[in-house]
Each structure stands twice: as structure tokens, then as C-alpha cells.
């Protein structure tokens, strides 16, 4: 029994220190871009922020929900550009390539969002594209996108040990994401997308498959729109 206990402790410790080793099939963002359009979104899809239905990728880009600049902070290359960070950090490459963090988004919104954190804005102006409010303080997505955004970023914390608040320079963002996760339950399209990603890169999002359960009664509540 003692031997088994020690084995479990060592295994859990190893995972927490090297959690980024699990996603090891897609080693670069260039690989992910190919399979993103050819396998993950090979048929009809829906854009993240605007719920735009699409058959082809025209006018769309690939959005890193946990922003690339935040990944550079976590990979210890914050002052490097992405190309240099890829050469410097194998860990950055795995994070940048992870399909659980990638969604289709309209080109203009992908650019406008940049690396702003997600938040609730008071009196923010919606984008002319759709219900997405952007200011210098952050980005407030439409309710339909909030659960997907939350589970994407929470996955990055689980898989790579990122610090949601510190790496994004946005204290309190994790509390908000947990609230969005609780308020926006997993939908059928989330489950289908998760299974496709499991087939492609071999890892599942535990916030989607239910292997991580959050006690929503203990989650901080935020005012509704």
C-alpha cells in the first residue's frame, strides 16, 4: 500500500511539473493550422465570437483564446517575438499548437481582440461585426461564447500550468472564467469538437468531458448583462 501511495504521489508531482508534455502530437503551430482547417473544421462550422455559420474559411482566422503573448510570458520569452520564442522554447510550441485553445474567428475581430483579457465592461461599445465589446480594459464576449472561452483557458491552466491572472496581467480573470463555465454548460457541439481533438492530438479537455467538476455553489458570481 505504501509503495502504491508513493507511486501516485510521484506520478501526480511529475504531471504538475511537466504537464505540458501530454500534448505531444502537434509540435508546431504550422502543423495545427493544417489540421485545424482540414480535420477539425473540414465541414460546416461556426465562428467563436459572432456565431457566424461558415462552409469555407474565407474571412476567418484562427484565434488563440489564451493569447500568444500570455504563452510567451509562461515560456520565459516575453520580450521575444513569436518566431524567436518558437526557437527558444519547445514548451511555447506545444502551447501555441494546442487545438483546445484554437477557434475560428472573423479576421477583424481576431485582430481587434489582440491580447486583451476577458472581462465584464460597463458601457462598452459593441463591435460593428457582432456583440463583442472591446476597450483598453479588456474584451467582453457575447454570452454564447463565454463558456467556450472559459473552458479553453481553464484547460490551458490544467495542461500547461499557466497562471491565468498573472500571465494575462488581469487579476480576477480566473474567477470570472469559472463563473462563465458554471453559467454556460457544455453543449453538444463542445462535446463533438472535443472528441475530434482527442482523435487528432490525443488529449481531452477535462472541463468538457466532465473529469474535472467545479462546485459552482462556491464560485464568485458576477452581475448579469
Q: Mind giving me the DSSP string for 96-136?
A: HH-GGGEEEEEHHHHHHHTTPPB---SSPPBPSSSS-EEET
Residue 9 lies in a domain: no
Which tens digits make up the pLDDT trace of 115-168? Answer: 999 999 986 656 667 888 988 889 999 999 999 999 999 999 999 999 999 999
- DSSP conformational letter for 138: E
Residue 92 lies in a domain: yes
- What's the domain count of the chain? 1
Which tens digits make up the pLDDT trace of 28-76? Answer: 999 999 999 999 998 889 999 999 999 888 899 999 999 999 999 999 9
With beta carbons less than 8 A apart as the criterion, state whether 18 and 160 touch: no
Residue 141 lies in a domain: yes
Which tens digits make up the pLDDT trace of 162-198? Answer: 999 999 999 999 999 999 999 999 999 999 999 999 9
Range 173-182 burial, b when 16+ CB lie within 10 A, else e: bbebbbbbbb
Residue 5 lies in a domain: no
Residue 168 lies in a domain: yes
With beta carbons less than 8 A apart as the criterion, state whether 24 and 97 touch: no
Q: Decide: helix, strand or coil at residue 51.
A: coil
Residue 160 lies in a domain: yes
Which tens digits make up the pLDDT trace of 208-225? Answer: 999 999 999 999 999 876
Which helix (DSSP H) or strand (DSSP E) does residue 140 occupy?
Answer: strand 138-140
Residue 154 lies in a domain: yes
- What pTM was estimated for this model as a whole? 0.88
Instruction: Give the structural domain span for 137.
Output: 24-218
Q: How many CB atoms lie within 10 A of CB 51?
A: 12
For all residues of the chain together, what is the average pLDDT? 87
The CA distance from 23 to 155, in Å, is 12
With beta carbons less than 8 A apart as the criterion, state whether 108 and 213 touch: no
pLDDT value of residue 127: 66
Residue 14 lies in a domain: no
Please state, in angstroms and as integers, the Cα–Cα distance from residue 221 to each residue in 30, 131, 137, 180, 182, following that order. 39, 22, 20, 9, 10
Amino acid at each position: 500500500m505504501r509503495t502504491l501511495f508513493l507511486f501516485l504521489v510521484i506520478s501526480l508531482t511529475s504531471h504538475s511539473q511537466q504537464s505540458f508534455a501530454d500534448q505531444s502530437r502537434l509540435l508546431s503551430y504550422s502543423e495545427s493550422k493544417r489540421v485545424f482547417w482540414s480535420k477539425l473544421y473540414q465541414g460546416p462550422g461556426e465562428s467563436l465570437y459572432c456565431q457566424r455559420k461558415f462552409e469555407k474559411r474565407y474571412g476567418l482566422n484562427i484565434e488563440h483564446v489564451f493569447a500568444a503573448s500570455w504563452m510567451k510570458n509562461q515560456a520565459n520569452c516575453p520580450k521575444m517575438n513569436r518566431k524567436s520564442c518558437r526557437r527558444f522554447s519547445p514548451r511555447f510550441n506545444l502551447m501555441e499548437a494546442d487545438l483546445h485553445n484554437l477557434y475560428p474567428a472573423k479576421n477583424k475581430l481576431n485582430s481587434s481582440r489582440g491580447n486583451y483579457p476577458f472581462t465584464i465592461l460597463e458601457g462598452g461599445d459593441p463591435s460593428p461585426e457582432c456583440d463583442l465589446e472591446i476597450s483598453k480594459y479588456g474584451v467582453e464576449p457575447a454570452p454564447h461564447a463565454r463558456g467556450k472561452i472559459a473552458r479553453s483557458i481553464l484547460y490551458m491552466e490544467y495542461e500547461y500550468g499557466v497562471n491565468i491572472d498573472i500571465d494575462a496581467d488581469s487579476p480576477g480573470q480566473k474567477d470570472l472564467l469559472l463563473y462563465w463555465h458554471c453559467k454556460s454548460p457544455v453543449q453538444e457541439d463542445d462535446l463533438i469538437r472535443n472528441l475530434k481533438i482527442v482523435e487528432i492530438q490525443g488529449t481531452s479537455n477535462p472541463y468538457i468531458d466532465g473529469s474535472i467538476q467545479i462546485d459552482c455553489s462556491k464560485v464568485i458570481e458576477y452581475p448579469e448583462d
